[in-house]
Amino acid sequence: MSLHHTLVAVLVVTAAASVPSAVLACDECEGKKNKSQWQAVSTQVIQASPEQVMAVITDFNQWPEWTAWSYERDPDGEWSFEGQPGTVGYGMTWDGKELGKGSMELTEIRSDGLDFDLFFGRSKKANKGSFSLAEADDGTVVTWTSSGPLGLVGRLFRRSIEEAVSADFAVGLTSLEERVEASVAVDEPQEMIPTW
């Protein structure tokens, strides 16, 4: 499923989510998976400190360079950024033939990650996103999570949406790993080897 089709499905799902709340009652009340929400998750270990990872993920200006929703994927797309990178309220909007229209806004920065709201098309209903960072022996465990409302029709496509978005997250995290680890290698002092 292409990103465009995934985003169209999410737009349909989000629009369908405006069904009265009584119809979309919580399916999770008895501990079952909430079928009125989609959720995508992907995790990657990056050989860098949490601070080095945060420097990239809190700067939306860099996202079109490493996420699956990139300049490469939609070369005619337009991105704009508002606010100060790494601060609450910082935002990004995009509009492209392949990616469609959308926006996101940084809503919280924590020592172990960040949260953001994500909007597709003209929807006023936020999809929630987050990055969680955990220090590990071999670097930082980075978990990218996003979820959003599903209407009645969207529930039929929940698994497809989750799989497609999780796959895009995995692609993005691999690219993030390459980007962060390359910058770490440049920043590390090089050992001097005698040449006699």
**Strands ordered across the beta sheet of 113-120:** 37-46, 139-149, 127-136, 113-120, 100-110, 91-96, 78-82
Q: Specify if 31 maps to a domain.
A: no
Which of the two residues, 146 and 11, has the higher pLDDT score? 146
The H or E element containing residue 152 is none
Crossing angle of helices 3-16 and 158-187, rounded to 10°: 120
Asked if the model's pLDDT at residue 125 lies above 80, the reply is: yes
Q: Specify if 193 maps to a domain.
A: no
Q: Specify if 58 maps to a domain.
A: yes
In contact, 154 and 147? CB cutoff 8 Å: no
Q: What is the per-residue pLDDT for 129?
A: 97
Q: Specify if 194 maps to a domain.
A: no
Report the chain's mean pLDDT, rounded to a whole number.
82
Q: Which CATH number belongs to the domain containing residue 134 in this structure?
A: 3.30.530.20
For the entire predicted model, the pTM comes to: 0.76
Q: Specify if 195 maps to a domain.
A: no
Alpha carbon distance 196, 194 (integer Å): 6
Total number of domains constituting the chain: 1
Asked if the model's pLDDT at residue 196 lies above 70, the reply is: no
Q: Specify if 14 maps to a domain.
A: yes
Q: What is the per-residue pLDDT for 193?
A: 57
SS3 for 27-80 is CCCCCCCCCCEEEEEEEEEECCCHHHHHHHHCCHHHHHHHCCCCCCCCCCCEEE
Domain that holds residue 175: 3-24+36-187
Q: Specify if 161 maps to a domain.
A: yes
